[in-house]
Structure 1
């Protein structure tokens, strides 16, 4: 059954695919697991539904006509109301550049077809279990001039500048800031942020670090060449 979020509400899932058979398969299995489900066959319709439905998770196909999944994901990530929404890309494409493009626009996971319903449901359930576990730990970190609040997924810089981050970027920042000056390898960060049950490229960490630096500046997260990343406790 679906793992309950900290708000005790049933998680909502939006399924987006132009293949009606896949939509029907996913919808059936998600409802069976106890999720509230809505579906869309185009990127444009997905954006329209997501704006009012505010799903906890979006399963998004990449290869769709007119507005493909990558562009749809990019537009979804621009909606502040969806900053805490997980996006899992589903695709028949296995090229590395497609996976990198997905994470560039804020993907939380990348799953290749053909879809194995039981395995997919296990990954989704694990994702929501981790969400519930995180909600039980400390909610706020104050370091340098940043206030990082996990209860409402907000980052405030310099006392008044609010910065909106997609969920995985936020979780990566929060994790590093919790233990400043400790170096984590890419593999460790993948395990801690994405989980052992989700396969993503090590390069995914680099993409998210680069995006954090673009939004926050370079002085917070330091690179130890050949080792990994750490949050610096010293202002430059």
Structure 2
């Protein structure tokens, strides 16, 4: 008989939530996405699952709803977002000579955008120049407040920050990361579905488009960076 009242906790890492065709959920290793339960027991009999074969209901198939694999990836142009937040907050001060001080990028703006997309069940990676973390490049050093630096280090420790080397273009890192993940999502045929990827930036990436056009003269429009950005770039506003 089919008994949907049992809930099994297979504590074998890595764990994902798997749901039988009934209403209850159980936890199974990610690699066991679709498996006869008896086969699963035989392969993992050295683990103590706390259940015996006589207790096992007849279950033909167990399927994994791998939400994280399906979630879209948002690759954030961190510098663009941080400067935009500062601009939106109208925090630029006037110097004694009547001029404007350079904008101070706000890591809080990155945090606001990050939380917005995490609440929307997206994966998020923030691309920033490496010197934002080390603050060792006096010629390009953003003036971060102590609180902003602490927040940035916290986001980095949580795995959200991707640091572009100081000799490289952080915009290029963001674009390549998003385009590769998007291509992987569209071409993947086996295993769980992978969510599409987008780059979050108000930058129109004109320099990157020109480099791409110059490097690939005569290439089909559909394969160009210009074409991908039409649907792959997300613009935003703080209000």
Q: Which TM-score tier does this pair reach, normalised by the shorter chain? A: under 0.3
Could you say which structure has the larger radius of gyration?
Answer: 2
Q: RCO (CA 8 Å, sep 6+): is it higher in 1 or 2? A: 2
Q: Which protein has the bigger strand share?
A: 1
